Structure 1
Amino acid sequence: MAETPNVDASNSDQYAMWDGGSGSFWTARADRFNEGMAGYHGTLVKAAGFQPDSQVLDIGCGSGQLTRDAARAAYEGSALGVDLSKAQLDLARTLAERDQLANATFLQVDAQVHDFGEARFDIAVSRHGTMFFGDRPAAFANIARAIKPGGRLVQLTWQPVDRNEGLTTFRTIAAGGKEVPPPPADAPTPFSLSDPDRVHPLLSEAGFTDIEMTGLTVPMYYGSDVDDAYEFIADGFSYEKLDDAVRERAIDDLKADIAAHLTDQGVFYNAAHWLIEARRV
């Protein structure tokens, strides 16, 4: 039986979610997530600038695409991917073994409190993996301790929800057309690192300098056709669990909106992310 990871109390709900239903959802849809992020992934890898001897930490690695890319580039170094989801980590290990990447390893740990060692890594990276910490100052301070002086942090996070057409649309339709307020700024949500006025002091106080946030706007892929995209979106936003009074209309409205975003290459919605770069003091 696998050992239960040491998880900070502030992350207990996230652990239950990511090691439960959310982890299973994204494990089953790992390819879809990678396809959706394809317009951003290359920019993130280029910004990371992995070197042949780099020691890399991938935070919230999921099924490990970024970890594997780091391991390929750092062929004389190593890449460690960490996540709370056992299911995603099991898939990540399988894919790394398939690709014969012996220098890629994976651990189920809480990056907010795990002891990575002092000044161990040249670079820490993350693709959608750093927004969910219950105590962000503690988490980024712990990550900073693990990075060598002068080493780098490079991560990709969402911009505010209202700059992301797909997410705004899916939330609004699920609410019966009513405007949905943005998630609380202090809550561990996908948008907790969307405000530059909060991110800069957060990283500075954690021990980083030369903090830069570059806005990226690339449409995101949601499916090959209307039915394919509908299955993915409706499941992710729990459309089938809506109250009877709004479910039927919401499903019809969602399918119509998806159809309006269908192109020759599939279904795309406009999206906006931050590429966040910083250097360890």
Structure 2
Amino acid sequence: MSEHRVRFAALFDAEVRPHNERFRVAAAITRGEDVLDVGCGTGESTREAAQASGTGHVLGVDVSAAAITRARELGGAAFEVADAQTHPFPVHGFDVVLSRFGAMFFADPPAAFASLARALRPGGRLVLLVWQERARNEWYAVLHDAVAPGTAPPPAGAHFSLGDPGTTRALLETAGFTGVTFTDVDEPVCYGPDSATATEFALGLKDVQELRGTEGAAERLRAAFAAHETDDGVLLGSRAWIVTAVSRG
């Protein structure tokens, strides 16, 4: 997956461009703030935070060495291979912790969010962008119905692990956060400029690879994407949350 993430880095960023614009506004990074970006991938959100912070220390971390190598090549901030669940971040070392579609993949969410709460200064901000529940995301239905038509979807995976507000609020409050809020983001995702690119992109996604695809899956994907082609690319419906919270310190 990491090689696919690096190969299609520009498309991964373009896929969620409207979401990212909302996320950047919600983060509201100001000059001099120290920022930790968790699950930063190839670093777009980290570089944007560094530009806003200017003089602050901005660090992007990801478990993918390939993604971090590419992020370092692009520059613009500090990057490190690290697992937020176990990495010894400096206590009270950051004003803001960000995660753009990264926090859903924690293997041990309570440990990870407790670690992030410790890394924040008292009153520091946590800002997450996460998918809402699977049933609210058209993009998953399109992938499933094309790859494995006529089958029941498997149990919802990590992508949707923070989609339920009640569960996520309880998780964050237990980890040391308060003032948890959820803002609805109803924007399409772009799978590429055309159906051929979208198909190649989708076939490397974990969601697709976990489905038991039947013969002709690629052709069905391409046809499904063709039905969603617009002048702005292949657009599929999606729903996400911007989750904000404050460290109790």
Q: Would you say same fold, with TM above 0.5? A: yes
Gaps of 5+ in 2: none
Residue matched to 2:138:
165
Q: 2:200 maps to what in 1?
A: 231
CA distance in 2, matches of 1:251, 1:148: 48
Q: Provide closer, same or farther for how the CA distance between residues 200 and 86 of structure 1 changes in structure 2, counting only shifts above 3 A.
A: same
1:39 corresponding residue in structure 2 = 18
Higher RCO structure (Cα 8 Å, ≥6 apart):
2
Q: Tell me how far 1:165 sits from its aligned partner.
A: 0.7
Off by >4 Å, runs of 4+ in structure 1: none
Alignment TM-score, normalising by the size of structure 2: 0.94
Give the greater-gyration-radius structure (CA): 1
1:60–1:83 CA contact under 8 A, matched in 2: yes
Fraction of identical pairs, as percent: 39
Q: What is the alpha-carbon distance in structure 2 between the residues aligned to residue 94 and residue 56 of structure 1?
A: 20
Gap change, CA 1:25 and 1:228, over 3 Å in 2: same
How far does residue 173 in structure 1 lie from its aligned partner after superposition?
2.4
1:9-88 correspondence runs (5 A): 22-88=1-67
* Residue pairs, 1:109-128, within 5 angstroms: 109-128=82-101
3-state SS, counterpart of residue 121 of structure 2: strand
The aligned length equals 246
What residue ranges of structure 1 are gaps of 5+ in the alignment?
1-21
Give per-residue Cα distances to partners, 1:42-75, cap 9 Å, x unaligned: 1111111111110000000100001000111111
3-state DSSP class of the match of 1:170? helix
TM-score by length of 1: 0.84
CA distance in 1, matches of 2:35, 2:218: 43
1:29 Cα deviation (Å)? 0.6
- Root-mean-square deviation (CA, aligned residues, Å) is 1.6
**Cα distance per residue 1:200-245 (max 9 Å; x no partner):** 1100011100100111110111111121111111232249x966xx
Please tell me whether the aligned partners of residues 146 and 224 of structure 2 are also in contact (alpha carbons under 8 angstroms): no
Structure 1 residue 216 corresponds to structure 2 residue 185: yes
Q: Given that residues 161 and 182 in structure 1 are in contact (C-alpha distance below 8 angstroms), is that contact kept between their aligned partners in structure 2?
A: no
Q: Residue 18 of structure 1 corresponds to which residue in structure 2?
A: none
